[in-house]
Amino acid sequence: MFHVNKLPGALPDEKPIGLYRRHPITILALIISFVIVIVLPFAAYLFILILHPTYYLNQQLMAVFVMFGGLFFLFVIMFIYQNFLDYWLDMWIVTNRRIMNIEQNGLFSRTTSELRLYRVQDVTAKVDGFVRTMLDFGMVFVQTAGEKEYFTFEDVHHPNEIAKKILELAEIDRKEHLDEAMEAIESTEIEHHNAIKEKTARGLEP
Amino acid sequence: MIPLIYFLILWVIVLGLFFILAGFSVLQMLRFGLAHPVTEISTAVFALIVAVVIVGTIGYLSGVDLKSGLDISALLNVGQTPLF
């Protein structure tokens, strides 16, 4: 298990419960392309050797092939590595105090959001499709007290177990931090009430 | 005739660009990947493949006369079968 000190803004008495990533099957295409890319240079060498062996006699041409073939191979390997990085750095962390969603979008874009467990109201697990059902992975939607706020765990393994665990942890956290939970609920109700008043004033809601 | 040294200069420039991008990728991975063997292993595999390709290319090029040139017209016409 990872160490809680590695998390941004660790809370006092916070303990890590789980770290979730997308199911590895979601990067199957990446794994296959990695294998193909590794095999490709050897296959190309044999292909030319069988069909046009005279090309290997031209040293200058071979030198250019080696230089730019190597460069092409390097960039393809880097592309695969960056895609793996994109998969590996997307994660959902559950501790006994909060849920964190860390999302890597490409190389230079990273989003980190967190949700305190006492704000969790409803957790839904969704597994749809043949492959997801067979391999037991799917979505987990965490709904908070707010109107539109929700967290989505995408394609995580054992979504039902995760949903159950989050609900249990949220219940414990609400009991332990009753005052904060009550404040959050009250502020949400006020926000909700104000939103309705605003909509009514604009004639959007009766 | 195009001297091979021109191709080599181009190769070095593109390789420099590759190193910049690869450096950023590795930096991001080691900085944000939580301490886990997969973080280190994937980076080590990437670095190993890159090292093998570059060392292999340099090794091959060390045995080539870079002062000679590549005659493209001869390749297209005389005594050679088109590749495809």
Sheet strands (E) in B1-84: 2-3, 69-70
**Interface subset of A 109-168, CB within 8 angstroms of B:** 110
The number of beta carbons lying within 10 Å of the beta carbon of residue A16 is 17
What the block records as the tokens of A56 is: 């290997």
Residue B38 to residues A28, A89, A153, B42, Cα–Cα distance (Å): 16, 11, 21, 6
Q: Is the pTM here over 0.95, yes or no? A: no
Q: Dihedral sign, CA of A189, A191, A196, A197?
A: positive
Name residue B37's amino acid: P
* ipTM score for this prediction: 0.86
Cα torsion B34, B51, B54, B42 to 10°: value is -40
Percent of chain A exceeding pLDDT 70 equals 81
Closest Cβ–Cβ partner in A2, A66, A89 for B57:
A66
pLDDT of residue A55: 76
Q: Assign domain A16-22+90-201 one CATH number from 2.30.29, 2.40.160, 3.40.1000, 3.40.50.
A: 2.30.29
B28 contacts A64? CB cut-off 8 A: no
- In tens, the pLDDT along A22-69 reads 999 999 988 898 889 888 888 988 998 888 888 778 888 889 989 999
Q: Which two tokens stand for residue B5?
A: 């040294």
Sequence ranges of the domains in chain A: 16-22+90-201, 27-87
In chain A the beta strands, taken as DSSP E runs, fall at 16-20, 91-95, 98-105, 109-116, 120-126, 137-144, 150-157
Residue A191 has pLDDT above 70, yes or no: no
**B40 at interface of A, judged by CB pairs closer than 8 A:** no
Q: What is the rounded distance in angstroms from the CA atom of residue B69 to the CA atom of residue B10? A: 15
Chain A residues within an 8 Å CB radius of B35: 2-3, 6
Domain ranges of chain B: 2-64
> Please, what is the average pLDDT of chain B?
86
Residue B39 CA to residue B47 CA, distance in Å, equals 12
